[in-house]
Amino acid sequence: MEEKIRISFFDAKEYDKDSFNLANTDDMFEIKFFDTKLSEDTYKLAAGSDVVCIFVNDEVNKEVIDGLIQSGVKLIALRCAGYNNVDIEYAFGKIHIVNVPAYSPYAVAEHAMALLLTSIRRIHKAYIRTKDFNFSLNGLTGFDLHGKTIGVVGTGKIGRIFIDICRGFGMHVIAYDKFPAQDSGITYVTLEELWERSDIISFHCPLTDENKHMVNSDTIKKMKKGVVLLNTSRGALIDSEALLEGIKIRQIGAACLDVYEEESDVFFHDFSGHIVADDTLARLISMPNVIVTSHQAFLTKEALTNIADTTCSNIEIFFKEGRCSNEVCYKCTKLGNCKQEHKEKCF
């Protein structure tokens, strides 16, 4: 009987357990689910495992990487696309990393549009009112999306699907991407022009050292007065303090956030009976023109199934064939000179 691959699964939620148990159809994996996040304080839980499976708020720095290696872990399997929480440069040559590059781009793009429509048509406010049998329309005036200019930052799979949705509403779309999609029919502009022309700006790009706090006090000044900001990518793309100030001075008309730069200790937990210590987040949520969802844009049945299936497939292929097409490495992502096309391990 073939020995099972042992997986330590961190930051596990009930929906994770359900989807991964279903994906483990051949009983190939022995999975230990941990509610806690992976960090310097918890990596020892993975001792004896072949793989750690992590999500967006798990912390994988130098100390954690060294600790995992000493514990016998051979693979870090991200069950998400982003990997800004992993020190991939330090990991190179030491431990292999795989991710799920596309689980359901429709889920995220559709959630972004849902947030936008909820905000500009005051649907959330109407819902609360009618629950109290208050059918007044005072203060619920919105605006048409048709004819408005939307700036899309990042035109990967999610960004392009979001663009298609916006075009369906009759919006004028402009976009910025460091690596424009060829022959896409997308109108690309500089970031400066995007800030200046857009009525609405939506972010669909990974977080890097280069674009951290790309929305800050200086760039907010360049935007149209009353601009609506959507962020379903990574929280640190936006300087939260600058966002708060921009809302207070009415430079920013509304903000729809599925991510927040200090979300790791707050999102995915129930604090309804507690006082949240993060003053900035508390103040943002208190604003009448701010909608916050807790990193739920990915959360559809289809996405959860794809995440589980792809993650399990990544792990199986890695241990059977010694390589994986979804490997993430410093050479490929940072230096851009990887020529092997993942036909073998990156190191």
Residue that the structure tokens 């009525």 belong to = 199
Query: What is the amino acid identity at position 206?
Result: P
Taking Cα atoms as reference points, which of 250, 249, 248 lies closest to residue 227? 250
CA distance 222 to 284: 21
Annotated active-site residue 263? The verdict is yes
Catalytic residue among 234, 269, 302, 341: 234
CA distance 4 to 205: 37
Annotated active-site residue 295? The verdict is yes
CA distance 134 to 203: 35
CA distance 196 to 219: 9
Angle made by CA atoms 272, 276, 278, in degrees to the nearest 5: 150
Catalytic residue among 59, 79, 204, 263: 263
Taking Cα atoms as reference points, which of 299, 304, 341 lies closest to residue 114? 299
CA distance 287 to 247: 8
Taking Cα atoms as reference points, which of 28, 72, 35 lies closest to residue 57? 35
Taking Cα atoms as reference points, which of 327, 337, 301, 342 lies closest to residue 91? 327
Run of H or E including 292: strand 290-292
In this structure, are residues 317 and 309 in contact, taking their beta carbons and an 8 Å threshold? no
CA distance 152 to 159: 7
Catalytic residue among 295, 302, 341, 344: 295
- How much is the CA Rg of the chain, to the nearest whole Å? 21
CA distance 154 to 163: 10
Taking Cα atoms as reference points, which of 225, 180, 222 lies closest to residue 205? 180
CA distance 314 to 306: 12
Q: Which residues are catalytic?
A: 234, 263, 295
